[in-house]
Amino acid sequence: MILSTEGFVLRKRVLLGADVMVVLMTREFGKLVAIAKGMRTFRSKRAAHLQTGNLVNMTLHQSTSGAYYIQSTDLISGFTEIRTQENIKGIYTLLSIVDTLLPEGQTEDEVYKLTKLFFIRSARKENPDSILHSTFQSILMELGYIQQALTLSELFDVVEEHAGVKVSRHVIM
């Protein structure tokens, strides 16, 4: 089956040979893991598109076993104007938290919209800490983890408690 979708690259991991595993958050299919065959070759056009934090249009092939393979990509935005020393830690923190909290294959349209809004607000040069805090809080509320406003430190505590993983805080706090 061939699928076309728009999504954020949450993270990637090098596999054997020239292949890369890419974790994506898409509006239509939720979080999914896809393989980019040959991405680490010198001639791969997808390598620049599939960087963590990029927003891309992509064509995926879903095999009969259910595995996804990235066939083609078009970069919508690399958000290069906001990848500054001031913003980069917040960007990677948010993407890591979204990756940690979202289950594979479950559509979370509002979380997708909140993530996109995070990047738009960052481009408007709003306060990076304020953007991270409000987006992080909205995502946790949308997913049902919290019911009221919490401090950033308390939000990290909630993620650590529910996900069972330690979240790196020293980079932004």
pTM score? 0.85
Domains of the chain, residue spans: 2-77, 80-163
Report which of residues 130 and 37 the model is more confident about.
Answer: 130
Fold designation for 2-77: OB fold (Dihydrolipoamide Acetyltransferase, E2P) (2.40.50)
pLDDT value, residue 173: 42
Helical H runs in 21-127?
Answer: 46-49, 85-101, 109-123
H or E element at residue 60: strand 55-62
End-to-end CA distance of the chain: 44
Q: What is the pLDDT of residues 129-139, one digit of tens each?
A: 899 999 999 99
Pick from 88, 170, 77: which is nearest to 128 by CA? 88
Which tokens go with 132?
Answer: 């991270």
